[in-house]
Structure 1
Amino acid sequence: MGTNSRNEILNQMAGKSVMSGWGAITVFNRTRINRFLEQQYITRMQGYSFIPAFKGAVTLEGNASATVQLESIMLGKPLLSFADEASLDESYATVTMNMVSGTVLMMQPGERVARVATSLRIRESQGYQLKLRIKLSVVAGSINDQGLVIMDLKEGVDFTCDVLPDYLDQAAIGLAFKDYFESLPVYQRVFVLGMLDVSQYDPLAPKEFAILTQRAPGAEKIAASNYGDGGVVVFIRVAGDKEKGVLPSEGSGFPYLIPDDEEEGVSIYSAAIVVAEKWKRYVGDEQISKLSSLLYPGAEVFESKDTATPHDYVNFGNVNPASTQLAIEPSMVTLQAGKSETFKLLDAQGVPVTGVVWTAKSLNSRTLNAAGSISSSGVYTAADQEYIGHDTVRVVITGTVYQEDRVFTVSAGVSVFVDNMVVAPQLSSRIIEQNPKPIKLSVTSTSRSQLTWTLSQPDVGTLEFPTPNTAIYTPPTFEQAEFETVQIITAYDASTDQSASSTVLLFNDFLTSKVSPSYVRHMKRSASQLFEIADDTGEGTKHWSVISGEGEFKDPSVGEFTAPDTVTASVSIVKCDWIYQGLTRSFYSTVELDRFEDEPDWKDLNTFSIRVLDSRGSLTDAGYAYRNGLQQIKLAVVIETKKVGQDSIRPSAEELQTLRLLFSNGSVVDPLLPEQSGIIPGTSVSWATHTIANSVHLYPVSSASVSASLPVPLDEESTVRLEIYVHTTAPAKENSTFHMSFIGGALNKTWYSTELNESLGKVTLTPIEIPKIQENEFTFVRTEIDDGTRLVSADSSAPSQQHLARTVALEPEPEPGSEYDFKLRTIAYYEFNFLNRKIASFKFTTDQDSGGFARKSTVRWESRLQEETMFSYTGYAWNPALLEGIPEGEPKKNHLQFDPDLNLLVTKEGALTIPVARPAAVGGIIFSMHRTDDVRYGDAKEGEALIVRDALYDSIFANVMDEYGCWYLMEVSFPEEKVHDRENLAVRFL
């Protein structure tokens, strides 16, 4: 048993509240959060919102005057840990991001002659990491009233990167990454940890929340099995609470609410939900679903394991993939050029899905061949070495499948390396001294690796092996017979029969003679490099040689080095002996060789055009959208490069990430987060772009659009076609003209769409006012389901077809004494439908912003006399026109739904369990009106029943959203009491 079992938590909660005044608390552990972060990381690779490669020079603090060059540094998925300083007081979490690929070069500082101190090629399994501490934050509200819990990497503190051993150097490199994150747009640096829907108005609907982090008991101990474990704690003010609570402090006794019980070594729980004792009567599956909605909608769901009520209500469970969620296995993989991996698309139960369309796209390549290929059965084959064009190519594998009239798209990531096995650093140099600085070596490896380390002759210094994939080389403490000594340290993997080496260059003393260049990086096969010595007097003789590695000086008297035709060793050491009047001076330089050829650069464009793609599929130069911030204007972008010789080259995904929509004055239209559906209401943002299409219908056009013809691409392999989506909340009919730009090409130039063809390079976009609902745009038809001649028991099945009611005209109630007065128990449906649109979301609300929670039923007695028993009340049911990613609000049910407090008035058992006799049309709502003669007005005379009776006398209000993203406020009510027209409901739009 662990230290924080379910029973131990219940003992801490017994007989007292742990809520500190909050209505609800939810807790999710790091396993759930890190799975979500991985999903985002991979999904963003599919679009154009991934973190691009870092490149820059960093001035170090631990080494005076030293500079380290970082190139093409790709960072892996962010992972949260709570091992360091997570507490209820500080609310910080530790974020680690593995360094996946790239190169690092540091020249030895403070010496007269430049020499390489360390040079390495990075692979993720070497274990280098960027680490930071971060406080989670909340962005309240969005287009769907979703409160986002975000992790903004630029807000991190204490950045460190351990690619160099000195801590001050690590801090300096870490600070460079912080500056880098600050320069990135929000959609690349911000990750969403979850969402809370604050638009609901149930008593338990979230209205306001605060975030803390909490370390699991014992998780600070490195030897503990749960080291680094912890959770995000969300304190929620629910709609029933007028005020929020206070936040507990560290040491206050607030329990860690996720039990550590296990079954067969597997954790039973990963999440918990607690509801204050005073609100526990409202707890149901729907309310638990809303409270656990700190999740990406539709991706994962809270699954209850068990519940208890020690005082407050607590629900222990797990967060698991939703039944509709698909996943690719493996999700992330590394491959050597030319090798293959099989991908499978699995459903939530782990069963392979058939009918998958597979694609492979490279993120940092400009040629189609570099992406490799994937078969219809999911077998991906990486590009061969001759096509790869980089030390590392990042590829996103995407599986698309059509199920139940929906399109599901899931992605996985692949890192393709020229050399799968690499030792880092691959080059180091040291001056022999009494207190030598050791060199830590790390090799890429897998769980199957069987590594053997060897040291070349002459065997000087010592080699130790602290872990299977690391070694520590310590140089000798005494001078060698030769001024320079080269040590080759090789790691051999018996499981793959591959090896990789690191070169260490030792000098007896500091260098005094300069050679230019002092080092060469990224030299290709068969290439040439001319070296010159700085102290050449024009006399004497020179003898150039390769003292370690490959390549040659065809004429030893001339410093022209030629790389080998086939590169097998990554480092060559070149030397020049200069002899003059019997005196010999030696000069040294290093060459690092690449086994791949650089891909060609594109230099110019043939086409850079943008058009509006309207709802009919026509291309035009004008676009329209309702100014609701949710509907999109779809822009079709075409970019074609000019061929370089016979090579077809296209902009890479990294270059396309810089694509921006610009106002006519050149200012940038800000992009949204991938997880945002649209512009947050009430913000100052009036225009925004997105790289992902939402499911809201485009603005309807009445006739086919007319467009100038687009130029026919000369070469499809040189052409990129993509779509950008525009949202607006700008004032109606204030149209604006937009064009686009991006950065790319051999000169890293900024290109503008209006430069090549101004008419095809700009569009005019116009916001449209949200239309007001007119009475002739909807129907509200009364249908009698039971006309009072047949008493339907509350728990009976739906009436048979012959008893389904007749439709009656909405006329004033007959005079007292007429036939209707003798029908004491009736059910009528009032069916609401728009004539030219459907409802996609339906949420009860309040009539004002004063807080509180919404009512879902309205009631009316024949009179307000204490003995009055003639009673009418409403229910509802609806059938959403589902839009992917848009919450439908009130769920579709097979039974009529009522206000949860109505059972305080209608106390007869089963009276509120009524099947839906006839479902609503898709996108329509039914308001049911029930008339009965057995609810006495005077029975609700005190406490909650009296409060509920008076509250339910008011109208009910609901927000409805149509398929075009427009929200409307609806009021449904009985007539005024003085009208005495108890039979009819009325609807109006406010």
Structure 2
Amino acid sequence: MDRQSLQDLLTAMQGRPITLGWGAILCFGRSRLNALLEEQFVDRMGQFHQMLPVSGMLNLNPDGTVVATLSRIRLGTPRLSFESASLRNSTVTLTLPLISGSYSLMTQHSGMPALLVSTGELDEQHGFSVTMKLKLAQAVGDIDGSGRIVLDLAQGYEARCNLGNQVPEQEALGEFILQRMRLQPDNRLRFELGLLDFNSYHPLAPVSFHLATQAAPGDSGGDGGVLVFVRLRANQGNGSAPVDDGDFPYLIPDDLQGQDPRWSASLVIAEELVGWVDETQLDVLKNLMFPGRSLFVESGPRHQPHDLLILGNIAAGPGTARSEPRLGSIEAGHTQQFVARRADGSVIPNVTWSTESLGSPLALGKITATGLYTAPDAQTMALDATPALVRGQYSENGQARQVTASLLGRMAGMSLYPRCMVRAVGAAAIEFRASRLAGGTLRWRLPQPALGSLEDLGGGRARYTPPTDIDEPFVLQPIECFVTSGNERIEAAVVLSKGAAGVPIEPYFVPEIDFGVPIRFYGNFPPEWMRWSVQGGGSIDSGGTFIAPQEAGASPISLVRCDLVPEGMELPIASGFSIVRLKAREIAPPRWRNLDKFTVSPAGGLVQAYANGQQQIPLVIEIATKTVEMGGQDVYIKLSPTELATLRLVDAHTGNDLKFIAADQEGIAEGDSTDWAVHEKRNRFNLYSPTAAGESDDPPPAVPANTGTSFRTLWMHMGKEGSHTFFARFTGDDNQVYNSNDPSVNISEIELTGVEPPRKDPIVGPGRDYDIVRERVYNGEGDFEGDDDFTYFLDTVDYWRIAYRRASLYPVPFATLRIEANASTIRWESEQLDETFFSYTGYAFHPFRSDFSGVEQRPTHLTFDTSFHRLLDKVPSSPARELLEPGKEPSPGQLLVSLHRVADMGFWYDGMAEGKPYWMFRALLDGPVTFTLRDVEGNRHRLRVSFLAPSVIDGRNVLTLNIQ
């Protein structure tokens, strides 16, 4: 593998620009990006956002004779690699491991009985996965104005799954799984890799970006990075796209610190912008965020071979914590110690631990006050693998916090795939894959009758080659894997066949049966001709009734054989077989069977919201099950969290599921034609009220009537005025669809109304919808003359506060702000070349509920346009007063525009710009400032602030507000 040290990178950057006209380049390495994906994957499991298991059947060949069945296959943590990376685009390779579920292959030829080819349960350690290519995308939040680097699994292509042996089979399986994934709500499939806040107006604050990917040098094993080419405020336009010419350096050196890479990220600032760099913190880094409140942390000195190179790591930010472990597997009945740790590695005391089964509610583990988790007993697990969620709640600095972990409970400590295969004598070899949760050395052996040969490939893999001939039509050959230390072992079975089965038996395959349970086999022949026998566990009588064994044995299957012996003959003329999968438990735990109640109702009776796509209506969905018999008693078993995760709202007129809003968005985007949509979480906007601004508090939690009752709240968004009817829907673990308006349970629908947003009075002033009020906060030298506080004060600062009252009565604070173009406006007293009397504006905004994003947004400084900062560097001037005057900061929900008057500002006209567009300060700053705000009810306001007309004497002393 070619290496690239820091010195190699500095040499490649020496004396030449590499930013391609962009203001900055960010580079993030694979290891930390995958850690961010893992963190999101785990967090979503406790928020009903997890990817759902995949089930279904598909043909693997054109004539439909080979059929694959996928059952409850769970996809694990997404992992990025960069084999397909190209500087021309943002392509990555994504791998999703298959961590549980079962996979079976059948054949069905015309005129022949159906035949099982293979079957078995999957384990992540077996190495099966889906891989696909996809392009990283960028999404700009309509509300928060942030640019997100998005990994959208629904946009994957060229998917392959290595459960298939040949490329066409792999492609068919990969595309099938991808299509099943696309049926899930969009927010289950979108992951974030980073976020750039576009709301800052400092010179090095980001405006937009372009994405590319790049493989690490040499044979890197899929290592590489995501490149973000950033346009900054100080840039006048975008740069050019990189090309794959081998000249662009890889921006993360591979120097080590001990045994670990020293850096996982880097930042390059264009040489011409280095003068704007703050010695303590770069604006571009202030506005760069990662999921889970991770940050770019500088590490080591800065370097400037030409452009400025800053190396660092994506690291957990202050106040963050994680569970240790965060993800893993555990055998039934075994224990796992959990610890909550801060970002610095210190242990958090006084954590309250809890656990929840994400599968059957009966398969619930236990956890002690000290974090010692005990997995549920195997007999309570409905499936071979049952996921569980572990939460640790604690308080720090007066704030409630939480860490989350996920464990996949396994019914057995060893797993093997396939557990059963049917092979003709002389056929191709079979590869087996085994794993053990506790580790250890695995070995293989071929028990009696020891037909064929078995080769131990190491690493838990073996290759079995069938014999060239057998004495019987069908023989059951065990394959055993065992641990070298101890008695633990697991067995697979190969059904060897000599010729085609000539006796069709129904059922030809029984995928699961409990201990001691009977099942009847039959065929279309006289009963007295059919001679039944069984290999493996269990027994069968002369009438074809098979009884499963009373306890678990070594063999995973029973081979039920039927020989056809016509009357008067001693030897069979034909034979056939069926395969019965045996389970490692006495009886499958029960699940709920029938619903007692399924309703959707408005929380607090609220059925209205402004039709602005942002304000929400909380809807409480209650689902109650009827009791089932268990151990001679009637017990309640509620829906599993996986079932609750399928809950959605449905348009009662069309029967179509409503769209879910992406988790990184707060509502229906401006200009989106969506009429109605659903969110799975609360946004920042208050609920509807026709009078004073509505409440921001969440509805109180509902109280279940019994242990079979589940509640969930979904949040409706109205993008269309008028009333419409909806109902709720979910998919059960039995793959059945249940509707809240099903008359067999109850008929529960809800009518919701989108209210016309308030019409706005265009006249500004006291007693109107909008008002702008001036307050003098600073006077330079001078004296008052009557009530004239302008003429005799040449250096002043006024704060103009903008307020809004709905219907001119009810105060409604502002929640969000975006600026459309320039963030400042300027005006000289005259257009004389020696004019120095000058006015300019800045602004400060304090969002209502400013801590909604988890980061306090209380302003401490005024913000000015980047071009205004540049103007100050080009002409004689005094520094701008950026610090907010003490005690005069904007209140929550208030926009403040500052008006500064000075007497020493050198004159500028754009003829002095030497043709440079970014020096055309008059064209850039003479125009008004346009603010786009959303109030706490989600309604949009477009406000324009400007000076009085140039023809008005002293027009630079006064600001006007115009409603757009």
When normalised by structure 1's length, the TM-score is 0.84
Tell me, in whole angstroms, the C-alpha distance in 2 between the residues paired with 1:887 and 1:409.
Answer: 14
Report deviation, 1:429.
Answer: 2.6
Q: Is the CA contact 2:598–2:621 (under 8 Å) kept in the aligned structure 1?
A: yes
Tell me, in whole angstroms, the C-alpha distance in 1 between the residues paired with 2:246 and 2:858.
Answer: 39
Report deviation, 1:953.
Answer: 5.2
Q: Residue 419 of structure 2 aligns with which residue? A: 426
Tell me, in whole angstroms, the C-alpha distance in 1 between the residues paired with 2:89 and 2:830.
Answer: 58
Q: Is the CA contact 1:143–1:629 (under 8 Å) kept in the aligned structure 2?
A: no
Q: Is the CA contact 1:297–1:887 (under 8 Å) kept in the aligned structure 2?
A: no
Q: Is the CA contact 1:16–1:311 (under 8 Å) kept in the aligned structure 2?
A: yes
Report deviation, 1:741.
Answer: 2.7
CA deviations 1:330-380 (Å, max 9, x no partner) are: 221212222232333333323333454544333332xx3223333444333
* Match among 804, 823, 835 for residue 855 of structure 1: 823
* Match among 470, 473, 496 for residue 506 of structure 1: 496
Tell me, in whole angstroms, the C-alpha distance in 1 between the residues paired with 2:786 and 2:405.
Answer: 58
Structure 1 position 270 matched with structure 2 position 264: yes
Tell me, in whole angstroms, the C-alpha distance in 2 between the residues paired with 1:576 and 1:429.
Answer: 16
Report deviation, 1:425.
Answer: 1.0
- Paired residue type of 1:730: K
Secondary structure of 1:501's counterpart equals strand
Tell me, in whole angstroms, the C-alpha distance in 2 between the residues paired with 1:357 and 1:771.
Answer: 50
CA deviations 1:398-436 (Å, max 9, x no partner) are: 344455565545432221121231111111232222xx4
Tell me, in whole angstroms, the C-alpha distance in 2 between the residues paired with 1:610 and 1:537.
Answer: 55
Tell me, in whole angstroms, the C-alpha distance in 2 between the residues paired with 1:278 and 1:838.
Answer: 41
The within-5 A match list for 1:180-259 is 180-198=180-198, 202=202, 204-218=204-218, 221=219, 226-239=220-233, 241=235, 243-251=237-245, 253-259=247-253
Q: Residue 465 of structure 2 aligns with which residue? A: 474
When residues 876 and 308 of structure 1 are mapped into structure 2, their CA distance, relative to the original with a 3 A threshold, is: farther
Q: Which consecutive unaligned segments of at least 5 residues does structure 2 have?
A: 806-810
Report deviation, 1:697.
Answer: 2.6
Tell me, in whole angstroms, the C-alpha distance in 2 between the residues paired with 1:206 and 1:914.
Answer: 22
- Paired residue type of 2:873: L
Report deviation, 1:721.
Answer: 0.7
When residues 109 and 90 of structure 1 are mapped into structure 2, their CA distance, relative to the original with a 3 A threshold, is: farther
Q: Residue 614 of structure 2 aligns with which residue? A: 630
Structure 1 position 968 matched with structure 2 position 941: yes
Q: Residue 682 of structure 2 aligns with which residue? A: 693
- Paired residue type of 2:889: A
Q: Residue 808 of structure 2 aligns with which residue? A: none
Report deviation, 1:900.
Answer: 3.0
Tell me, in whole angstroms, the C-alpha distance in 2 between the residues paired with 1:396 and 1:384.
Answer: 16
Report deviation, 1:529.
Answer: 1.7
Report deviation, 1:811.
Answer: 5.3
Tell me, in whole angstroms, the C-alpha distance in 2 between the residues paired with 1:771 and 1:33.
Answer: 46
Q: Residue 378 of structure 1 aligns with which residue? A: 371
- Paired residue type of 2:624: E
CA deviations 1:502-529 (Å, max 9, x no partner) are: 1123234444344333332211111112
Q: Is the CA contact 1:76–1:99 (under 8 Å) kept in the aligned structure 2?
A: yes
Q: Is the CA contact 1:216–1:256 (under 8 Å) kept in the aligned structure 2?
A: yes
Q: Residue 550 of structure 2 aligns with which residue? A: 565
Secondary structure of 2:18's counterpart equals coil
Q: Residue 590 of structure 2 aligns with which residue? A: 600
Q: Is the CA contact 1:62–1:168 (under 8 Å) kept in the aligned structure 2?
A: no
CA deviations 1:110-157 (Å, max 9, x no partner) are: 594544322111111111111222233344553333444433334323
Report deviation, 1:601.
Answer: 4.5
Q: Is the CA contact 2:861–2:882 (under 8 Å) kept in the aligned structure 1?
A: no
Secondary structure of 1:538's counterpart equals helix
Q: Residue 625 of structure 2 aligns with which residue? A: 641
Q: Which consecutive unaligned segments of at least 5 residues does structure 1 have?
A: 614-618, 791-807, 847-853
CA deviations 1:826-880 (Å, max 9, x no partner) are: 555556666834444444442xxxxxxx234x45555554445555555555554
When residues 727 and 42 of structure 1 are mapped into structure 2, their CA distance, relative to the original with a 3 A threshold, is: same
Q: Is the CA contact 2:69–2:104 (under 8 Å) kept in the aligned structure 1?
A: yes
Structure 1 position 751 matched with structure 2 position 739: yes
Q: Residue 920 of structure 1 aligns with which residue? A: 889
Report deviation, 1:495.
Answer: 5.8
Secondary structure of 1:444's counterpart equals strand
Structure 1 position 87 matched with structure 2 position 86: yes
Q: Is the CA contact 1:956–1:972 (under 8 Å) kept in the aligned structure 2?
A: yes
Q: Which of 352-361 and 252-261 deviates more? A: 352-361
When residues 834 and 28 of structure 1 are mapped into structure 2, their CA distance, relative to the original with a 3 A threshold, is: same
* Match among 491, 509, 523 for residue 481 of structure 2: 491
Tell me, in whole angstroms, the C-alpha distance in 2 between the residues paired with 1:756 and 1:429.
Answer: 44
Tell me, in whole angstroms, the C-alpha distance in 1 between the residues paired with 2:26 and 2:496.
Answer: 59
Q: Which of 751-760 and 451-460 deviates more? A: 751-760
Q: Is the CA contact 2:850–2:858 (under 8 Å) kept in the aligned structure 1?
A: no
Q: Is the CA contact 1:844–1:855 (under 8 Å) kept in the aligned structure 2?
A: yes
Q: Residue 582 of structure 1 aligns with which residue? A: 570
- Paired residue type of 2:677: A
CA deviations 1:739-795 (Å, max 9, x no partner) are: 3233438681432347479886313232341564864466735144456379xxxxx
Q: Alpha carbon RMSD of aligned pairs, Å?
A: 3.9
- Paired residue type of 1:352: V
Q: Residue 870 of structure 2 aligns with which residue? A: 901
CA deviations 1:705-739 (Å, max 9, x no partner) are: 9xxxx9x99952111111001123334xx333333
Tell me, in whole angstroms, the C-alpha distance in 2 between the residues paired with 1:678 and 1:697.
Answer: 13
When residues 238 and 929 of structure 1 are mapped into structure 2, their CA distance, relative to the original with a 3 A threshold, is: closer
When residues 172 and 729 of structure 1 are mapped into structure 2, their CA distance, relative to the original with a 3 A threshold, is: closer
CA deviations 1:208-229 (Å, max 9, x no partner) are: 44332221111xx3xxxx4101
When normalised by structure 2's length, the TM-score is 0.86
CA deviations 1:217-255 (Å, max 9, x no partner) are: 11xx3xxxx410112223344455555343222125222
Report deviation, 1:394.
Answer: 2.1
When residues 921 and 378 of structure 1 are mapped into structure 2, their CA distance, relative to the original with a 3 A threshold, is: farther
Q: Is the CA contact 2:331–2:437 (under 8 Å) kept in the aligned structure 1?
A: no
Q: Residue 31 of structure 2 aligns with which residue? A: 31
Tell me, in whole angstroms, the C-alpha distance in 2 between the residues paired with 1:101 and 1:55.
Answer: 12
Tell me, in whole angstroms, the C-alpha distance in 1 between the residues paired with 2:563 and 2:742.
Answer: 59
The within-5 A match list for 1:18-167 is 18-61=18-61, 65-83=65-83, 85-89=84-88, 91-107=90-106, 112-140=112-140, 142-167=142-167
Report deviation, 1:44.
Answer: 2.6
When residues 280 and 783 of structure 1 are mapped into structure 2, their CA distance, relative to the original with a 3 A threshold, is: same
Q: Residue 724 of structure 2 aligns with which residue? A: 736
* Corresponding residue pairs, total: 929
- Paired residue type of 1:426: R
Q: Is the CA contact 2:202–2:863 (under 8 Å) kept in the aligned structure 1?
A: no
- Paired residue type of 1:660: R
* Match among 280, 300, 308 for residue 303 of structure 2: 308
Q: Is the CA contact 1:627–1:770 (under 8 Å) kept in the aligned structure 2?
A: no
The within-5 A match list for 1:455-854 is 455-477=446-468, 479-481=469-471, 484-494=474-484, 497-532=487-522, 534-536=524-526, 538=528, 542=531, 544-548=532-536, 550-553=537-540, 555=541, 557-569=542-554, 570-576=556-562, 581-584=569-572, 587-596=576-585, 597-613=587-603, 619-620=604-605, 622-645=606-629, 646-666=634-654, 667-700=656-689, 702=691, 715-731=705-721, 734-744=722-732, 748-753=736-741, 755=743, 761-770=749-758, 772=760, 775-776=765-766, 780-786=773-779, 788=781, 812-813=788-789, 821=792, 823=793, 825-826=795-796, 829-830=799-800, 836-846=811-821, 854=822
Q: Is the CA contact 1:485–1:506 (under 8 Å) kept in the aligned structure 2?
A: yes
Tell me, in whole angstroms, the C-alpha distance in 2 between the residues paired with 1:530 and 1:396.
Answer: 40
When residues 399 and 730 of structure 1 are mapped into structure 2, their CA distance, relative to the original with a 3 A threshold, is: farther
Tell me, in whole angstroms, the C-alpha distance in 2 between the residues paired with 1:810 and 1:254.
Answer: 67
Report deviation, 1:47.
Answer: 2.7
When residues 377 and 913 of structure 1 are mapped into structure 2, their CA distance, relative to the original with a 3 A threshold, is: same
Tell me, in whole angstroms, the C-alpha distance in 2 between the residues paired with 1:439 and 1:63.
Answer: 24
- Paired residue type of 2:730: F
When residues 289 and 487 of structure 1 are mapped into structure 2, their CA distance, relative to the original with a 3 A threshold, is: farther
- Paired residue type of 1:391: D
